[in-house]
Amino acid sequence: MLDLVQDAIPRPYHHGDLRAALVRAGVELAREGGLAALTLRAATRRAGVSAGAAYRHFTSHEDLTFAVGAVALSDMARSIERRQAEVVSGNDLERALAMLRAVGLGYIDYALDDPGNFEVAMFGLFTLAHTSLEPARGDRGLTPYELLVDAVTHLVALDVLKAEQSFTVAITCWSTVHGFATLATRGPLRELPREALDEQADDVVRTLVAGLLP
């Protein structure tokens, strides 16, 4: 597998925007081969730069991985927003439920569309208390988790959930959707064709959300 030489003309000594180039290369690598392929040296190779140069912009391999994961999380937020934009019909309650389902379906969409970067995003989200990092947001300015909390809060406002249930409900939703995404991308469902997975995702999310109501 040859890396395409993106810069046939010899680059000047200073790259100009190496940080962004490394993140871009990292996203490509993750898309092609998942977390395992997201190697610091491979990213520098792709940017046409020596391995050590990465350390002028990232403190470690993990640090680069987090940066790639942040891009992935933004993309996931946008994927959720896309699903939510389709929710238009129905009364208040129906719309609120559809918005919650859209969070889950957008999450799963992203995982199925780009399993490699989904893996990287979860590594970043999970591996560290990344309180120091600026969280990755979508076009509405919310992280995926905030979009989830927002949808749950609407259900509380409609009196269909009690406020003290919010946290458990949010965690239950996240668990289910994350678990399904994992089973579907790396687990026992990974051989199923995309349409079957979409259908199954719809069933699972529908079952889940229906079960939250009294």
Using CB under 7 A as the criterion, which residues of the chain lie in contact with DNA when the complex forms?
Answer: 12-16, 18, 39-42, 49-57, 60-62
Out of 129, 131, 132, 141, name the contact with its own copies by CB under 8 A.
129
CA distances from 42 to 38, 72, 193, 199 (A): 7, 19, 31, 37
25 binds, among DNA, its own copies, none (CB under 5 to 8 A by kind): none
- What is the footprint of its own copies within residues 86-125 (CB under 8 A)? 125
Q: Provide the minimum distance between the beta carbon of 91 and DNA in the complex, in angstroms, as a whole number.
A: 52
Q: Please identify, using beta-carbon distances, which residue of 45 and 165 lies nearer to its own copies.
A: 165
136, 71 Cβ separation under 8 angstroms: yes
12-27 in b/e form (b: 16+ CB < 10 A) is: eeebeebeebbbbbbb
- Tokens for 42, please give them: 């491979």
- Tokens for 50, please give them: 């020596």
Nearest in space to 210 (alpha carbons), one of 144, 146, 160, 175 = 160
Does 133 interact with its own copies (rule: CB under 8 A)?
no
Q: Please identify, using beta-carbon distances, which residue of 12 and 214 lies nearer to DNA.
A: 12
60 binds, among its own copies, DNA, none (CB under 5 to 8 A by kind): DNA
150 binds, among its own copies, DNA, none (CB under 5 to 8 A by kind): none
For its own copies (CB under 8 A), the number of binding residues is: 31
33 binds, among DNA, its own copies, none (CB under 5 to 8 A by kind): none
Give the whole-angstrom CA distance, residue 103 versus residue 100.
Answer: 5
Q: What are phi and psi of 61, to 5 degrees?
A: -60, -45
Round the CA-based radius of gyration of the chain to a whole number and report it: 20
What does the binding site for its own copies look like in residue numbers (CB under 8 A)?
125-127, 129, 145, 168-169, 171-172, 174-180, 182-183, 186-189, 191, 200, 203-204, 207-208, 210-212
